Amino acid sequence: MTEEDDHLALEAIEVDLFIEAMLRRYGYDFRDYGRTSLTRRVRNLAQQFGTGTISALTALVLHSPERIGEVIGGLSVPASDFFRDPAIFRALKAHVFPVLASYARITIWQAGCARGEEVYSLAILLKEAGLYEKSRIFATDISETSLASAQEGIFPLSDMRDASRRYFESGGTQSLSAHYHARYERAKLDRGLIDNVTFAEHNLVTDGVFCEAHLILCRNVMIYFNDRLQARVLNLFADTLVRGGFLCVGDRENLRVAGASLFRPVEGAPSVFRLRSPVEPP
């Protein structure tokens, strides 16, 4: 065994013990997260906390419940963008909005909302389509620090230039700047965009159904999960959606085997799927 192999074997044990500590002490279950990227994040966290080793990080975490928010924040990857992958928003507008419009009230769940860029992007498009007023959007995440930041609705003004281009590519019909106020290098989103949004902690690994939704967006979250956890989450989504409800995932995600029996792709709408009816052939 080379020194490198020995180091990796030791690190694998340390990560196992860290995961066990998070589960037994705080109830956070990371056992079914993809191991390579989780290991990278645990390593970064040890560096951020200045503990040197992952074992020392585990000891610190076990004895510091007051830092658990910071730990979860460090393990989650809140990377997002306004109107990320515009083709998907265009597809939602063209294929999903007309169906949503037929409901008296619309319920949308955005799972893994990070700092809110995606939920505000959706809110803007719903508003421009005249659907926002009758919508209730639940935006959830595992990280309370991300949720607190999302709730503020304040973003660097420098993000808005590229966002404006993607807004038009997504089918935006006004001007993105009509939806925020610029002040001191910051963009504060119109408070009206938050009125119908409820931000809440929800862990896709352990929490259950809490609403009946017409549309669920869960983009770039399941990529961090192994096949077993993806299957659990897809079943949770199927149980949450109304008959014929829609699921939108990230552009690099396919629904693999578990998803294919529950959802069918919507023709012409990349990354958008529809719940199969129980009698529909797979």
Which element (helix H / strand E) includes 222?
A: none
Give me the 36-65 binding string for ligand SAM, x by CB under 6 A, dash otherwise: ------------------------------
Count of alpha carbons within 13 Å of 262, Cβ hemisphere only? 22
186 closest CA partner among 223, 208, 156, 229? 156
We find the least distance from the C-beta atom of residue 187 to ligand SAM, in angstroms, to be: 17
Q: Work out whether 221 is an interface residue with ligand SAM (CB under 6 A).
A: yes
Whether 141 and 221 have beta carbons less than 8 Å apart is answered as no
Q: Which of 39, 220, 240, 271 binds ligand SAM (CB under 6 A)?
A: 220
Q: Which is nearer to ligand SAM, 7 or 252 (CB)?
A: 252
Q: Establish if 108 lies at the interface with ligand SAM (CB under 6 A).
A: no
According to CB under 6 A, which residues from 248 to 277 bind ligand SAM?
250
Max CA distance (Å), the chain: 65
Helix H or strand E encompassing 73: helix 68-75
- Answer yes or no whether residue 79 interacts with ligand SAM by CB under 6 A: yes
Looking at residue 253, its amino acid is E
Distance between CA atoms of 35 and 12, rounded to whole angstroms? Answer: 9
DSSP H helices, 27-66, are 35-48, 54-62
Which listed residue (123, 131, 142, 213) binds ligand SAM by CB under 6 A? 142
Query: Which of the ranges 96-104, 120-128, 217-225, 252-260 carries the binding residues for ligand SAM, by CB under 6 A?
Result: 217-225
Binding site for ligand SAM (CB under 6 A): 76-80, 84, 112, 114, 118, 141-143, 146, 203-205, 219-221, 224, 250
